[in-house]
Amino acid sequence: MNYTSMNLNTSVSCGSVPYFSLSIDERLSPELRAVLIFRITVNAVSCPFVILLNILVMVVVKTNRRLRTKSNVSLACLATTDLLVGLVVQPLQMVRHCFMLQGETDIICGWITSAVTFRCVMASLNHVTLLSTERYIAIKHSFAYENLVTEVRIIVASGLMWVAAIIPPIEDFWPANIRNVTKFAVIFVQLIFLAIVFYFNVSVYREVRRSERQIMANQVSLEAKEKLHKNKKAFYCTVIVVLAIFLCYFPANIIVVILISFMKDSIPINVIHIMYNLASLFPVLNSLFNPLIYAVRIKHFRVAFIQLLSKKTLTQAEQLERKVFGPRQIQVIATADGIEQEEGLRH
């Protein structure tokens, strides 16, 4: 392909960032080249782990009875999105950055990479709403939870999250006179989802704290304590996942805001390229962070991973897990025992 003929079309090309009109070949600096090589290396190293860990999450939730809870089914739905990042998004980004290093442009490559990445990002954010909604109903409306929330409904809701991520942003297939309306609608819906996530998590946190104070002040059954403990662990795992997603997506969003603002004219193009390519790496790596969070926060996930990867029995997997994470668990148990003793003295 004649590269000079693509000079004016680079804003939609494989090696470009939106809002730029100058070719990458003329703007590629040693610093930017180093950043692109770094991104290719990180994607190449992390991609197999993203695929492996998220497949493990899906398999153990499907096959392990202890892990087949409704909250874990929601995590498995998020894992499908993260799996697609490893299977599709990361390879496409590696190909795109290789083209950029060679000074080549490809409109098809750029369009596909941008479209797939954007939809996976939207799907991840939508699934955060699903996770928060499931936890909100489980803790705020615990009596209705068993009948209202089922595995089938969670999976259907996950499918609707994907529909919401795929259909509205397809601007090229909408008439020209309503494209701006669709853009506004997508942004508006995402703002609503963010507000829902914030409200649900704050409400659940207040409910958990209220339940803890109630248990401290009154004698409650052991079953109620165990139920609160399970809900609390699931809630904190959800909060960590939500925070990880926001922390990974926040830098990239800031860069996008800079790109569409008046500041882009005062910042050298190479600097913006470097900032964009570094910041946009974090949303991709979030697909690696999520299954690691599950393994760190949930013991049954750790045991199931060990059992599946090492082909050990359940007892052997639990023994190996205790050897690695035992001191931390002993400390937690000792702390819990201390709290129970303290409660006994108070009563």
Mean local confidence (pLDDT), 77-104: 87
pLDDT at 249 over 70: yes
Can you give the pTM of this predicted structure?
A: 0.77
pLDDT digits (tens, 9 = 90+) for 161-184: 998 888 765 555 556 566 666 666
Determine what percent of the chain is predicted with pLDDT higher than 70: 73
Burial tier of 240 (Cβ tally within 10 Å: 0-12, 13-18, 19+): middle
Q: Are 111 and 161 in contact (CB under 8 A)?
A: no
- pLDDT given for residue 38 in this prediction: 93
- pLDDT given for residue 5 in this prediction: 36
- pLDDT given for residue 155 in this prediction: 93
pLDDT digits (tens, 9 = 90+) for 25-77: 455 778 888 888 999 999 999 999 999 999 999 999 998 888 888 889 999 99
Query: Between the CA of residue 287 and those of 50, 97, 140, 281, 294, what are the distances in Å?
Result: 6, 20, 29, 11, 12
pLDDT at 225 over 60: yes
pLDDT digits (tens, 9 = 90+) for 108-120: 556 777 778 888 8
| Residue keyed to tokens 């939809």 | 119
- pLDDT given for residue 159 in this prediction: 93
Q: Pick the residue with more confidence: 310 or 85? A: 85
Q: Where are the beta strands (DSSP E) in 106-164?
A: none
- pLDDT given for residue 344 in this prediction: 44
Phi and psi for 93 in degrees, rounded to 5? Answer: -65, -35
Rounded Cα–Cα distance for residues 304 and 295 (Å): 9
- pLDDT given for residue 279 in this prediction: 82
Rounded Cα–Cα distance for residues 135 and 129 (Å): 10
Name, in order, each residue with C-beta under 8 angstroms of 79's C-beta and a sequence gap of 6 or more. Answer: 54, 57, 58, 61, 290, 291
- pLDDT given for residue 182 in this prediction: 66
Mean local confidence (pLDDT), 272-277: 78
Name, in order, each residue with C-beta under 8 angstroms of 220's C-beta and a sequence gap of 6 or more. Answer: 214
- pLDDT given for residue 154 in this prediction: 93
Mean local confidence (pLDDT), 127-146: 87
Q: Are 204 and 139 in contact (CB under 8 A)?
A: yes
pLDDT at 247 over 50: yes
- pLDDT given for residue 61 in this prediction: 92
- pLDDT given for residue 12 in this prediction: 38
Rounded Cα–Cα distance for residues 193 and 201 (Å): 12
Q: Pick the residue with more confidence: 248 or 331? A: 248
Closest CA to 137 of 196, 188, 189, 81: 196
pLDDT at 340 over 80: no
pLDDT at 334 over 50: no
- Mean of all residue pLDDT scores within the chain: 76
